[in-house]
Every structure is written in structure tokens, then in C-alpha cells.
Structure 1
């Protein structure tokens, strides 16, 4: 298909998707997979793929702003990534440092009210990346319309394990009563957490797994999940809108299911109550004497007898 025709079809399809969507998630989390494969297929090095992926990240911020999404979490660097060769890690750390500072200074970031926040075991990162994290957080701290969480040195199981160990230490030291441990207790001991539970997880690159990403905030909220084939640098607005449509369909399905369950529950309760009422009525009928209407008529005086027929006393 010629390029102009294909682009026209894509624009028309994108307009159709936008018209179909009337409900958007508050918090989207994205696993940005496929940067290295994208580079390999083009004969480039891994850092080239990561740089192309960073351009996609900028576009996604604009799409979120257009839709009114309030929070975005990007899985930028997992704890497993530390096992990669140094020749790949150093350029990646350079890119993270540069992009954090670039985002923090970008006019459109401040125009959109973006507050940048890092989540994860940031202390494991090189000093230059930690400094860039501090700079980005300070530089955007006063922005309050959109929150961008960058997951760095992040691992969901490590996060939960760290929280569990912290609670165990406090209980052993007598600082925390085990009976007081609740959801809030755990959340207070997680990494500097997102503001909202995750409504939608998007993973690019073709793999259908969530890779230990935000298990407390996503799985606990039963977030919708959208897997797609394009590598992260190829991720388009059409792909993003399809993901939002998946969330909307999931929400509509949940509402239908909840309504159907509520109606079924009301019917079940009504049937139980009706059956119980019938049983009570049956018991009452069994216990009350059977009254003969003719006997009742002879037992009760008629109107004249009731009035009496004795002479009146003047």
C-alpha cells in the first residue's frame, strides 16, 4: 500500500478510536520492551534502540495529556538489568541521566504540570544517575497536574520482600503489634509508591507477561492488561488508543458483571425471604384452631339479643 494511502487510513482509524473512547484510566503503567531487538533488526547497537525508545516516551506523555490521564509509570530499568554487560549498561546509564535532566528542564513538561518521581532501589544506581533523579524530582516538585513515575532499579518481588522484612523487624523489636498490620502498614513500607493503584498495564514487544512489575498496585487492583507486538520505539498512538479501549471494555464488562451479580443476589434474597414467609404462614395455620362458621354464628348473639329485651326503667 502506498505510504500516503496508508497514512490516510491510519489517521481515519485513529479518529474512529478516539470517538469510541469515553472512559480513560487514571493510572497507566508501561513495560517498555523491545528496544534492543528493535536495534538488532536494524543492525544498530543496543544504545541506539534505547535512544529511539526515549523518543516514544516523549510522545506518550503528550498522548496522556490529551486524554486527561493523571499518572504514568514507566518500567525504565529493572533489578534484572544489572546483569547486562557493562558495555551496554554504561550507555544506558548515560541515557537515563541525560533524559532525566532533559525532561526536568523541558518547557512542555512544566506546561503540562508533570511531576517526575523515581520508584525503586535508586541507591543501587551510579551516582550520576542518582544526581539526575534528585535534580528531576526537585525541578518538577511544584507541578501537580500529572505524575510521571520512572521505575529505576525496580523489582516487584524485592519491593514486597523488603516491606515484609521491615514489618518483621518492627514486630520483633516491639515497635509494632502484629494485630495492627493491615494494608496501610504494607503500603507505608513499599518504595516511594505511585499515588494511585494501576488501572492499565501495557507491554510492548510481543511478550505476554507483566515481569514482576508493580504487583501490589496492579494485581491487587486487578488492572486491565494490554499486550502488543510492536517494539517500544515503534509503539504508536493507535497502539496506545487500542490499549485504552481494552481498559474501557474491561470496565464496561465489570459494570455489567457487577449489575448482574447484584440483581442475582437481590433475587436470591427475595426467594429466600418469600420461602421463609410461606413456612411461617404454614406453621401459623397448623397451630390455629379450625373454626366452623355455623358454630360461630350460634355462639355470638344477634343484634337484638345483644341490645337486651327487658323493660326499661323510667
Structure 2
């Protein structure tokens, strides 16, 4: 009886949240934390927790499709995971190989034109996982309906360090002029170069940190961040909708702030713009070409 009441209340809350959401972030990134703790609390092996978490991952793909999210990045295996016991790593590698192959062959992936990409230093992974990556990427390479990025052997600081070394080497060999070192020069050398800027990061499991995840694409765009306590296998659609609502609230706050700053700037510069317009009118007849762009600029500020 208690479970039925809880499920009914959750369904009602889900409908309320859905009505409160007008749109969706284009790119959501997820740190899937809590699989092992979930398994321990349920008396299972860590591998069982990861299997349960894989089911949640498939549900999240459905939720993204429902809301119109265009890109999803999953933090599946970090560089720090190489420090775990070998047995745990092998369980993760088995699961990654299995799920990548399943996804590459799933009808829904092909029906919805989902493109699967691995980001990270994948050369560090066992050959069987690398083969599964190549298989999934090749089977979906031409799709443009939805982007699913799987972060494997990924670490944000390592990625930035690798990009910095690449830039330094290009400058040293004369292939890149120091004056041409810009955002594009760095971004093109990232493991994640095909990835769009992140709008929303979700972390499950209760920890409030982003753990070296996509610093270039997330922090550079000042992504909204949503932390929640459920372990990844327990992550629900209500949790997902709450995360999206957090993103929308953040966006609305940014729009208000930008509008207030713009209004303050116009007010502060109002007298200067009017003076510039007065001087421009005095000398307009002596200028070789009509300064239409300048005139339009000053008129718009009146």
C-alpha cells in the first residue's frame, strides 16, 4: 500500500514538473555516481550495481528524447578508475564492451539516428573495449538525430595538458605561430573536440563536485550543475526533470542579469552617445562616405 501511494505521488509530481518546463538544455552531461554504494546497500556485488546503473542509462536516453535534448555525455570510465582493483576494472570493461555492442545493434538507435562517440584516451583501454568502440562508432557514424558521447579513460586535466603539449609542439616545429594560439587551436587538440558546450551537468550519489569532467566545455560555458542524493541506479525521471528545471531557472536568472546590465550600460552611456550623434551631424557633409553603420548605432541608442 505504501509503495503504491509513493508511486502515485511520484507520478503526480512528475506531471507537475513537466508542466513547469518550457524547453530543454541542448547538451546534458551526467556523472553516474553511486553504483557500488547501491550494490553494497542491497547486498550485491559491485558488478550488479553497474548492471542496474546501465538500465538507468537506457531510461535517460528516453527522457532526453521526450524533452528534445540533442546531446548526452556519460562519464562511464575516468582516468581515476584505472586505480581501482583489477577485478572491478574487468567487470567495468565487460559491461562497457557489452553495452557498446548492444547500443550499436539496437533498433531504437538506428530508428532515432543516434550517433555514438567515445571521448577520452581510449588507447589505454583493453583491445576488446576499443573494438567495441570502433564498432559502435562505425555503425552510427552517419547519424545526426541525437549525439551520445561516452567518456572512456577520460580526465579533464589530462585532456587540457595533452592539448597544451600539442600546441607547444606545433609552435616548436613552426607549424603554429604563437600569435595564432587561440581557442580553436586548443579545442581542436582536445579528446572531446566534437562535443558541443555543456548546458547542464548532473551528478548523482550525493557528492557535490564535478570530478574533472569536461572542464573546457562545461566551465567555459558556465554550465548549470545539479547534484542529487539518489545513487545512479535509483535516479528517476522526477530527478531528471528537477535537474532540467534547475537549468531553466539558471537561464532565466542569466537573462534577467544580462538585461539589467544592458539597461544600466545604455543609461550610463546615454549622454556620450547623444554627444557623438551631435558631432557626427555637424561633420556629416565633409566625410567621404556616409557613415551609415555609425549613424545607425547612435540612432539605436537614442
TM over 0.5: yes
Q: Which residue of 2 aligns with 1:46?
A: 46
Q: Which residue of 1 aligns with 2:258?
A: 258
SS of 1:229's equivalent?
A: coil
Matched, 1:59 2:68: no
In 1, the alpha carbon distance for the partners of 2:213 and 2:170 equals 26
Matched, 1:128 2:116: no
> Once the 2 structures are TM-superposed, how far is the Cα of residue 271 of structure 1 from its aligned partner?
5.0
In 2, the alpha carbon distance for the partners of 1:228 and 1:193 equals 29
Q: CA RMSD in A?
A: 1.5
- Contact in 2 for aligned 1:30/1:75 (Cα 8 Å): yes
Q: Which residue of 1 aligns with 2:138?
A: 138
In 1, the alpha carbon distance for the partners of 2:16 and 2:25 equals 19
- Contact in 2 for aligned 1:124/1:153 (Cα 8 Å): yes
> Once the 2 structures are TM-superposed, how far is the Cα of residue 5 of structure 1 from its aligned partner?
1.6
Matched, 1:211 2:211: yes
Q: Which range moved further: 138-147 or 190-199?
A: 190-199
- Contact in 2 for aligned 1:149/1:194 (Cα 8 Å): no
Deviations 1:223-262 (A, max 9, x none): 0000000000000000000000000000000000011111
Tell me which structure has the larger Cα radius of gyration: 1
> Once the 2 structures are TM-superposed, how far is the Cα of residue 142 of structure 1 from its aligned partner?
2.1
In 2, the alpha carbon distance for the partners of 1:80 and 1:243 equals 26
Q: Which range moved further: 40-49 or 185-194?
A: 185-194
Matched, 1:247 2:247: yes
Matched, 1:196 2:196: yes
Matched, 1:111 2:111: yes
Q: Which residue of 2 aligns with 1:18?
A: 18
> Once the 2 structures are TM-superposed, how far is the Cα of residue 23 of structure 1 from its aligned partner?
2.2
SS of 1:222's equivalent?
A: coil
> Once the 2 structures are TM-superposed, how far is the Cα of residue 192 of structure 1 from its aligned partner?
4.1
SS of 2:176's equivalent?
A: coil
Deviations 1:202-228 (A, max 9, x none): 000000000000000000000000000
In 1, the alpha carbon distance for the partners of 2:120 and 2:193 equals 9
In 2, the alpha carbon distance for the partners of 1:87 and 1:94 equals 11
Q: Which residue of 1 aligns with 2:184?
A: 184
> Once the 2 structures are TM-superposed, how far is the Cα of residue 270 of structure 1 from its aligned partner?
1.9
SS of 2:115's equivalent?
A: strand
* Pair 141,271 (structure 1): closer, same or farther in 2 beyond 3 Å: same
> Once the 2 structures are TM-superposed, how far is the Cα of residue 140 of structure 1 from its aligned partner?
1.2
- Contact in 1 for aligned 2:23/2:67 (Cα 8 Å): no
SS of 2:252's equivalent?
A: helix
Deviations 1:4-23 (A, max 9, x none): 22111111110111110002
In 1, the alpha carbon distance for the partners of 2:98 and 2:171 equals 42
> Once the 2 structures are TM-superposed, how far is the Cα of residue 272 of structure 1 from its aligned partner?
5.4
- Contact in 2 for aligned 1:204/1:231 (Cα 8 Å): yes
Q: How many residues align?
A: 277
Q: Which residue of 1 aligns with 2:283?
A: none
In 1, the alpha carbon distance for the partners of 2:90 and 2:9 equals 41
What TM-score, normalized by structure 1, do the two folds share? Answer: 0.86
Q: Which residue of 2 aligns with 1:36?
A: 36
Unaligned runs of 5+ in 1: 281-314
* Pair 53,194 (structure 1): closer, same or farther in 2 beyond 3 Å: farther
